[in-house]
């Protein structure tokens, strides 16, 4: 075998790894370190580490960016979702229709608010909640309390139809927008759809607080309730109105979060360009596509996820993940197992309820993408996928 031939072999077959030092799934680098240190200094000097002006500034800045009337900062997206669902009247064991193809926190939030997840199918094309399947499950449910949908990977949901479905069923529509800070649907920022949209600012997201969340809503009464709810349900006199949480965001986290909001649009555009770079480098490989937003929509590409047809590609998502590991490339399977298959929800008896989502979950593999990544790194990852595909049969025979 010549040196050239060895060089073109995947690492799993003895070739040189594409990333000998390893390529992590995400890397978090604060965009304006100097600015952040200054802000943190101001917070520390103020002696006020919570309930202060930095959180208020973050809320105002985010509300402008998202073009909504109200933003309430919270300690994380999960707590934000719990409080929105509580405020929306979820409870007493009533069903909350939601996708099975989402992160577990969507379902956990409904559970902690007193509801019971009722899982519905994902659309094959853009992998968000299928509005027609959700409508059918709402219609069959006994007194449903809410509809939840997730902007998976930052891909905006089909919000117009979902709103019609929620209205027809007479339930509030709440978005898990954990991945969607910077996404837009037909030119309208994600943030203003449904009753409320809840963003995450945890470290794997496109804008980061360390840990944190933002609830965006057009509903003033809801925003007021949430401000009380994130503070134990305390209206200010310690005579709590309802059982709330401590879900406050600290001033320090708000300072970090503010650093990421400046320039968000440019960073999201860069991520989109990186995703296009990858997609064009693997174009033509049979049985491989990437999760993409609908025409005219903008995704944050919080994740760059490959969707494989194993018969046509020659390897399953699991096998491709193992071959990429040999190349030094870190991968995840967002979302496998899907939530309706997870042990936490085995008791609901819905494990067999979503065959389309099961097929989708079996076929996904998320590859590295972060904001400061350059096009050459994305191309090198894509070239590793091309090399692996070229040797798919040998890899399979060797039991990659």
Ligand X SMILES: Cc1ncc(COP(=O)(O)O)c(C=O)c1O
Nearer to ligand X, 88 or 385 (CB): 88
Task: Determine the length of the chain.
Answer: 400
Contact assessment for residue 52 and residue 39, using Cβ atoms and an 8 Å cutoff:
no
Nearer to ligand X, 78 or 316 (CB): 78
CB of 190 to ligand X, least distance (A): 13
Residues contributing to the site for ligand X (CB under 6 A): 76-78, 102-103, 105-106, 150, 176, 178-179, 200, 202, 204, 213
Nearer to ligand X, 247 or 288 (CB): 247
Contact assessment for residue 162 and residue 190, using Cβ atoms and an 8 Å cutoff:
no
Closest CA to 199 of 151, 259, 265: 151
CB of 294 to ligand X, least distance (A): 19
Contact assessment for residue 307 and residue 366, using Cβ atoms and an 8 Å cutoff:
no
Nearer to ligand X, 10 or 156 (CB): 156
Whose structure tokens read 């073009």?
67
CB of 151 to ligand X, least distance (A): 8
Nearer to ligand X, 63 or 105 (CB): 105
CB of 100 to ligand X, least distance (A): 12
Q: Rounded distance, CA 158 to CA 214, Å? A: 21
CB of 79 to ligand X, least distance (A): 7
The torsion angle over the Cα atoms of residues 39, 80, 300 and 175, rounded to 10 degrees, is: -150
Closest CA to 14 of 319, 400, 300: 400
Nearer to ligand X, 200 or 316 (CB): 200
Beta carbons within 8 Å of 309's beta carbon, 6+ residues apart: 286, 287, 288, 363
Residue 174: beta bridge partners?
Answer: 148, 196
Q: Locate 167 and state its tokens.
A: 């209205």
Residue 103: beta bridge partners?
Answer: none
Nearer to ligand X, 95 or 213 (CB): 213
CB of 109 to ligand X, least distance (A): 8
CB of 41 to ligand X, least distance (A): 26
């Amino acid at each position: 075998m010549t040196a050239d031939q060895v060089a073109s072999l995947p690492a799993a077959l003895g070739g040189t790894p594409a990333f000998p030092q390893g390529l992590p799934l995400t890397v978090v680098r604060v965009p304006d370190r100097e600015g952040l240190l200054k802000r943190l200094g101001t917070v520390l000097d103020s002696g006020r580490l919570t309930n202060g002006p930095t959180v208020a500034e973050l809320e105002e800045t985010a509300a402008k960016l998202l073009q909504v009337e109200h933003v309430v900062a919270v300690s994380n997206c999960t707590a934000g979702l719990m409080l929105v669902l509580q405020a929306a009247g979820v409870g007493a064991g009533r069903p909350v229709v939601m996708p099975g193809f989402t992160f577990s926190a969507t379902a956990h939030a409904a559970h902690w608010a007193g509801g019971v997840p009722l899982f519905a199918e994902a659309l094959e094309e853009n992998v968000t909640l299928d509005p027609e399947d959700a409508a059918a499950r709402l219609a069959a449910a006994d007194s449903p309390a809410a509809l939840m949908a997730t902007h998976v990977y930052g891909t905006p949901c089909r919000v117009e139809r979902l709103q019609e479905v929620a209205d027809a069923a007479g339930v509030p529509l709440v978005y898990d927008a954990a991945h969607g800070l910077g996404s837009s649907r037909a030119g309208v920022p994600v943030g203003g759809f449904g009753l409320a949209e809840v963003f995450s600012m945890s470290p794997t997201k496109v804008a980061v607080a360390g840990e944190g969340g933002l609830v965006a809503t057009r509903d003033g009464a809801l925003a007021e309730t949430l401000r009380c709810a994130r503070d134990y349900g305390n209206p200010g006199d310690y005579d709590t109105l309802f059982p709330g949480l401590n879900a406050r965001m600290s001033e320090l986290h708000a300072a970090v979060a503010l650093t990421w909001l400046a320039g968000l649009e440019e960073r999201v555009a860069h991520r989109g360009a990186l995703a296009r770079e990858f997609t064009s480098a693997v174009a033509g490989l049979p049985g491989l596509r990437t999760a993409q937003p609908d025409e005219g929509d903008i995704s944050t590409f919080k994740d760059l996820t490959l969707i494989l047809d194993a018969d046509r590609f020659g390897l399953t998502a699991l096998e491709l993940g193992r071959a990429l590991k040999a190349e030094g490339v870190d991968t995840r399977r967002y979302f496998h197992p899907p939530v309706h298959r997870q042990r936490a929800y085995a008791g609901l008896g819905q494990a067999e309820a979503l065959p389309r989502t099961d097929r989708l979950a079996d076929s996904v593999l998320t590859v590295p993408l972060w904001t400061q990544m350059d096009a050459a790194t994305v191309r090198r990852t894509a070239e590793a996928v091309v090399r692996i595909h070229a040797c798919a049969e040998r890899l399979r025979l060797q039991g990659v």
